[in-house]
Amino acid sequence: VSQSRYAIGGTYLPIEYNGIEQNVQGSKIVGDVSGNIGNGFLMLDFHPFGNAFKFTLGGAYMLTNIKGVARMKDTIQQGEIFLDPTKVGIISLDVSPAKFSPYAGIGFGRAIPKNRVGFSFEIGTYYIGAPQLNFSATGLLEPTSNQQSVLQKGLDQYRWLPQVMFNLAFKLAK
């Protein structure tokens, strides 16, 4: 006796961190990060044995996009030469996964509990493909702009977005 249920939902978290400071070889770098993390999803649970064990298949429209900017905080001294932060330049990057991502998972539990209160657990993963990167630099850092392909290759290994969910469900009617 198999059963199936579907779920439509989403997650959304805007992020913004400004003025993040990091010391690198005696110089302070200041960074700003902003963007969104989230998705809108449609999931279908299959209970092939009629009990709480389930397979979940679905997909999501990804809303995730992260942007970052880094710059030198103070003047840099190289021997007798002093470099102003505006001359050194700014590094900017923008990272986002594919817009549509399929999902597969397995778990235990029901969307609508048999009793008044129920609990479910699920582990699965989205296939997000290789995140896309846009990278640029200005000032003296501008020659590093040609490193976008190297950075993109480093991101190519991050094609899966694992997910672990714990759900607490309440039945409103008897």
Q: Is the pLDDT of residue 68 over 80?
A: yes
Q: In sequence order, what E strands does 25-75 have?
A: 27-47, 53-62, 65-72
pTM, to two decimals: 0.77
| CA-closest candidate to residue 58, choices 96, 12, 5 | 5
Please indicate whether residue 124 or residue 75 has the higher confidence score (pLDDT). Answer: 124
Predicted confidence band of residue 32 (pLDDT cuts 50, 70, 90): very high
Q: For residue 126, what is the enclosing H or E element?
A: strand 117-127
Which band of pLDDT confidence, cut at 50, 70 and 90, is reported for residue 7?
A: confident
What is the pLDDT, as a whole number, of residue 2?
66
Beta carbons within 8 Å of 81's beta carbon, 6+ residues apart: none
Using only C-alpha atoms, what is the Rg of the chain?
23
Q: Take residue 40 and report the two structure tokens written for it.
A: 């809108």
Collect all residues with Cβ–Cβ distance below 8 Å to 135 and sequence separation of at least 6.
Answer: 91, 92, 93, 94, 145, 147, 148, 151
Chain segment 104-117, per-residue pLDDT in tens: 999 998 777 778 89
pLDDT tens-digit series, residues 78-107:
788 888 888 989 999 999 999 999 999 999
